[in-house]
Amino acid sequence: MQELVKLHGGDIRAESEIGLGTTFIIRVPFGTGHLPRERVEADRSLSSTSIRANAYVEEALHWISGEPATYDVTPEQARSSGDMPALGEGTRILLADDNADMRGYVRRLLGRSCDVETVADGQAALEAIRAQRPDLILTDVMMPNLDGFGLLRAIRGDAAWREIPVIMLSARAGEESRVEGLAAGADDYLVKPFSARELIARVSSLLELTRVRREAIEALRDSERRTRALFQQAPGFICVLGGPKHVFEFVNDAYSRLAGNRDYLGKTVREAVPESEGQGYLELLDRCYRTGEPFRGLETSVQLQRTPYGPLETRLIDFIYQPITDAAGKVTGVFVEGYDVTDRVSAQSALRESEYRYRTLFNSIDEGFCIIEAIPAADGKPGDYRYIAANPALKAQSGVSVNVGHDTIRGLLSTEAQSWIDVFDEILRTGEPVRGERGLLTSGRVLDLYSFRLEDATKRRIGVIFTDVTARKRAEAELLRANQDLEQFAYSASHDLQEPLRSVKIYSELLAHRFGDKLDGDARNFLSVVGSGAARMEMLVRDLLAYTQAGQLDRPAIPEDAGEALSGALANLDGAIRASGAQVISGPLPSLRVRATQLQQLFQNLVGNAIKYRRPEAPPVINVTARRDGESWLFSVGDNGLGIEAEYKERIFGLFKRLHTGTEYSGTGIGLAICQRIVERYHGRIWVDSEFGKGSTFHFTLPL
């Protein structure tokens, strides 16, 4: 009431006597001369929702009586008629007003469907808000302690409260008052006196608007959370820079992995990543922010200190600077997105280097090399093969000229093509490489080939590397014939020499027996030399015959027992074993497809040598063992004899190679050569481990 009187330039006072009553005296000047021009001429912009002026009088009267006005609809009637929206059940409303009648009226009006709390001033309102947050606040303007504007400032200044909707209640009408209230942060402005319909409509509308706004804000926040989560999980590095100084507002994990774990948020790029200074990236950010034009970099180098106090590391990145604009199109920041491509670039560089080396090798090797690719037939199986790569040596080695990308196996090799295609089909099917020699009828050459499926089986490609061995095969054939002739000669010569040697030996023995007592010392000595020479010659011829026969026998159809072969060898050496006191120890020996006579000769030569080359002070101890080694049997014959010096370990397997004179140890120097020939006949190998003075162990392998 006082506010209304003051607005008209008047004053109000009360005269009262206890027990007799009270008189309110209001004095208002006539005319409008004492009022500001804008207040006199301004039209009323806020019209009342009441139809009759006396509605306000009636509502004011029922504040005192507590009874609803008889000529204004009650809140229940208005809501049931559909003329007024319903308030949400459980809604909490806080009313701050120093007028007790107004507090009671609003409580009765809104309390039927809402939880209404009333306080007498702004300070009490703040305490009520702290105790329990309301859904909506109604506040008078003029209140003691803390007025409505002070309460509004406190609410809007607290982050936890600033979204609470506020309706200001005031007796000050006019657009100016409304603008003042809204400018202070109020959501609505309601002029006293007001009707029940108007209050409930304003409260209901603002609650609904607040609900919609809250849902929109939550949806926006949810969208922001999803976007941040998406950015956080992105494989590439992402950051958001705000303002002209490029302040970090968001950084994902990939960015931290690239630049290192640092304190980014709220800092400028210069502050968070000081090593970026002088590398050109800050200048690019400035240009992007200033011009609004994006920038893209590919495989650019950046130096970063990725660990605290660590060295600068060079990384290669693909990136883009994208300007961020507001609704008006003004640039507000820069969005940074990219990938660390250091490993990819290194891999590509290594691949290019590998391809270069491969191409250099491909073009420079003397062997012919080509890659062929299957051409599917109608049934999906390979019908032909096309040349997709060929090196310069291919023509020189094969005698065939290839047009890469066009020529096929069938087109080049005509009648012999199918046999080649069958081999290549099998390689594709099994993945197993094929090695061997093969004649090429088209050019009349013999090729030594190695054909293999390339790693990517889906591309159905085969690599073929080959060498022209035509000249070698001719030389091998000639050498084979020469060796056969030589072996035949050696066999015939050694066989034919045995008869005259036998005669020399027999007659020298007869001469010594019959006429030995008639010969002088020199004659008897000469006769002894003739006899011993004939005996050594007979042994040499016999060993030569054994050597030639060692490479002529075929593998037996059934396995032979190596243990029985050893027993036969020991039986033949029985006299030497007894005379030397030798001890031969044997473990389990296998059966294998080797001629028993050759196995026996192997053991006899090796055990015989162990007995022959023994140490004088110790009887021979010989160990014979065998164990499986992959696709072969590994035999070992060890002794405790003289041993062999390292420089002679290869020489001893040569024909007629001896380490001792004939006067020291008997023999022809062929025994180990025979052993080697037998072992190599079965595609095995033989070698010796020895330490001079500590014995020797001979090892040899034979196929399963």
Predicted local confidence at residue 487, as pLDDT? 65
Is residue 542 located within the same domain as residue 561? no
pLDDT band at 162 (very low <50, low <70, confident <90, very high): confident
Write the DSSP string, 394-429: HHHHHS----TTT-BHHHHHGGGHHHHHHHHHHHHH
Confirm if 420 and 395 have CB atoms less than 8 A apart: no
**pLDDT (tens digit per residue) in 59-95:** 555 545 555 443 344 545 544 444 445 565 678 999 9
Q: Is residue 48 part of a domain?
A: yes
pLDDT band at 486 (very low <50, low <70, confident <90, very high): low
Is residue 386 located within the same domain as residue 287? no
Which residues are 452's β-sheet partners?
Answer: 463
**pLDDT (tens digit per residue) in 611-643:** 988 888 889 999 999 999 988 999 999 999 888
Phi, psi of 700 (to 5 degrees): -150, 150
Q: Which of 683, 619, 688, 678 is nearest to 651 (CA)?
A: 688
Predicted local confidence at residue 317, as pLDDT? 94
Specify the CATH number for the domain of residue 151: 3.40.50.2300
Predicted local confidence at residue 45, as pLDDT? 45
Name every residue whose Cβ is closer than 8 Å to that of residue 441 and which is 6 or more positions away in sequence: 413, 415, 416
Has residue 701 got a pLDDT over 80?
yes
Q: Mean of the pLDDT values across residues 583-610? A: 89
Report the phi/psi class of residue 671: left, alpha or beta, with left for phi > 0 and alpha for psi in -120 to 50: alpha
Q: Is residue 512 part of a domain?
A: yes
Q: Is residue 497 part of a domain?
A: yes
Is residue 635 located within the same domain as residue 648? yes
CA dihedral 194, 195, 198, 203 (to 10 degrees): 80
Confirm if 603 and 610 have CB atoms less than 8 A apart: no
Is residue 53 located within the same domain as residue 163? yes
Count: domains in the chain: 6
CB-facing half-sphere around the CA of 267: CA atoms within 13 A: 11
Mean pLDDT across the chain, nearest whole number? 82
Is residue 303 located within the same domain as residue 385? no
Q: Is residue 355 part of a domain?
A: no
Predicted local confidence at residue 669, as pLDDT? 67
Specify the CATH number for the domain of residue 279: 3.30.450.20
Is residue 432 located within the same domain as residue 568? no
Is residue 503 located within the same domain as residue 617? no
pTM as predicted: 0.42
Is residue 692 located within the same domain as residue 558? yes
Predicted local confidence at residue 596, as pLDDT? 83
CA dihedral 287, 289, 291, 293 (to 10 degrees): 90
Predicted local confidence at residue 696, as pLDDT? 92
Residue 486: count other Cβ atoms within 10 Å of its Cβ: 12
Has residue 10 got a pLDDT over 70?
yes
Alpha-carbon distance values, 698 to 511, 633, 636, 650, 701 (Å): 44, 14, 6, 12, 11
**pLDDT (tens digit per residue) in 558-582:** 888 999 999 988 988 888 899 899 9
Q: Is 309 helix (H, G, I), strand (E, B) or coil?
A: coil
Alpha-carbon distance values, 591 to 195, 466, 585, 628, 632 (Å): 119, 39, 18, 12, 12
Confirm if 396 and 441 have CB atoms less than 8 A apart: no
The parent domain of residue 291 ranges over: 234-345
